[in-house]
Amino acid sequence: MKIGLIGLGIMGKPMAKNLLKAGYDLTVSDLNQASVDEIVAAGAKAATNAEIGETCDVVLTMVPNSPQVKAVMLGEDGVAAHMKPGSVFIDMSSINPVASKEIAAELAKRGIEMLDAPVSGGEPKAIDGTLSFMVGGKQEVFDQYKDILGAMGASVVRCGDVGAGNTTKLANQIIVACNIQALSEALTLAKMAGVDPELVFQAIRGGLAGSTVMNAKAPMMIEGNDKPGFKIDLHIKDLNNALNASHAINMPVPMTAHLMEVMQELKNHDEGSCDHDDIIRYYDSPALGYLYSIPHTFHYDGGKGDIERNLRYARKHLKHVLFADTYDYTKLFRYNINPAPLYANGTVRAHAHIGHLGEGDIDFERIFKTLREIGFNEQEDTIATFNPLGFPERAVTDGARTREIIEKNLVGVPSVAQPMPEDFGMYAR
């Protein structure tokens, strides 16, 4: 039996190698000549798509989406035009089930049978030959060609007629994506709470929360490995197919819709070619960060201002610190200096920003120590500024002094001390 395989990408290439290991006579085709050369070196023959249609009893495709499958098979001078009646087409791509049915209908006119047989397992299982095949098509065709798929997978299950395979695959992709999102939230929660994500993974993997997805993706997330086993771009394609299929039958899929937006956000930040485990970056994104205003937060917690706890909570997400000293207006006699009004409940709703650090009541030694401990001074995208509200006439001199203090204590952190106009004080008043 002669087999032709069109598509030697991340998945198709290791699948081709497993067909060769099983002893099949294999002819291959791909737009990437280097991939073709690699599989030829492993024992296959190279040919055009037309030649594959003419010479092969079974034609396999492993291409990105519905338009590519249609173009390869039914396009101008497509493979189907060269296939003999009685031959078989097996599409292993993940495409819209509606498209699978349309292709099968056209092939039937030519006397060609079809199976839609998408896979699950990603690159690691494609390499190991342990993929899961979800197959749609006639029982007798499935029975005759099941062994070919078995050479590449550990599980080969017929789910119904043509289209059922891709419907099952869409269900699979929804579950995988939702698992990755849940795992991303959980590990990010652990990290932000100060618990080692690796220990969390080891603790829960054997319980009810454990899954194949967790075992495959948690280690990659923890080590920051986004080498694509299954690209975000491809999962977007699958979720789009799932949304289209669900809309066609008026089935609401809110979790799928939300995940689609998450992945689109990542794609918009040039992460479409990364592994879908990069969903964790949506939660632990360098694009998101905290601005911490020291004089503002000093008065929280009834005047205690637990600054250290707040800084440690932010950790690597702290991007901007606004420096200025201020007075604790809850103390006696503070109203003699730029007084702040007290409301009926005794809370302070106004305060001064003093640019001369150390003149007020804030413990900056503790603040600088904490900032160094959380690595604020080691990041490239952090910034420190000062804001002298309440004492504009001192802005220039205090600004220079504050900048000196910041740079002394946080080496490498850019400080911003913009020159003030000579008439700044007039406008500020």
Same domain assignment for residues 221 and 298 = no
Tokens of 423: 């008439």
Same domain assignment for residues 151 and 49 = yes
Query: In the sheet that 383-386 helps form, which strands lie side by side, from edge to edge?
Result: 290-293, 318-323, 383-386, 415-416
DSSP code for 226: -
Number of domains into which the chain is organized: 3
Same domain assignment for residues 263 and 373 = no
Q: Which of 378, 261, 370, 386 is nearest to 322 (CA)?
A: 386
The contacts of residue 80 (CB under 8 Å, 6+ apart) are: 53, 73, 74, 89, 106, 107, 110, 112
Same domain assignment for residues 309 and 412 = yes
Torsion sign (Cα): 202, 213, 270, 257: negative
Same domain assignment for residues 140 and 10 = yes
Q: Is 317 helix (H, G, I), strand (E, B) or coil?
A: helix
Query: Rounded to two decimals, what is the model's pTM?
Result: 0.65
Same domain assignment for residues 307 and 258 = no
Question: Which of 283, 310, 337 marks a domain boundary?
Answer: 283
DSSP code for 308: H
Tell the residue number behind the tokens 């197959």, with chain if given. Answer: 135
Same domain assignment for residues 64 and 125 = yes
Question: Which of 111, 129, 161 marks a domain boundary?
Answer: 161
The enclosing domain of 30 has a CATH number of 3.40.50.720
Active site residues: 169
Torsion sign (Cα): 154, 158, 164, 168: negative
Host domain of residue 416: 290-428
Question: Which of 283, 311, 342 marks a domain boundary?
Answer: 283
Tell the residue number behind the tokens 């500020």, with chain if given. Answer: 428
Mind giving me the DSSP string for 276-302?
A: GGGGHHHHS-TT--EEEEHHHHTTTTT
Same domain assignment for residues 15 and 151 = yes
Q: How far apart are CA 149 and CA 135, in angstroms?
A: 10
pLDDT at 302: 53
Same domain assignment for residues 147 and 16 = yes
Same domain assignment for residues 116 and 222 = no
The enclosing domain of 213 has a CATH number of 1.10.1040.10
pLDDT tens over the chain, length 429 residues: 999 999 999 999 999 999 999 999 999 999 999 999 999 999 999 999 999 999 999 999 999 999 999 999 999 899 999 999 999 999 999 999 999 999 999 999 999 999 999 999 888 899 999 999 999 999 999 999 999 999 999 999 999 999 999 999 999 999 999 999 999 999 999 988 889 999 999 999 999 999 999 999 999 998 888 788 788 998 999 999 999 999 989 999 999 999 999 999 888 878 898 889 889 888 866 556 778 888 888 776 555 567 777 788 777 778 899 998 888 766 655 544 445 555 555 555 566 788 788 888 888 998 999 999 888 888 878 888 887 766 667 777 888 888 888 888 887 555 554 454 454 443 333
Same domain assignment for residues 253 and 279 = yes
Q: How far apart are CA 292 and CA 306, in angstroms?
A: 12
Tell the residue number behind the tokens 């106004």, with chain if given. Answer: 350
Same domain assignment for residues 249 and 182 = yes
Terminal C-alpha separation, the chain? 90
Tokens of 368: 């600088």
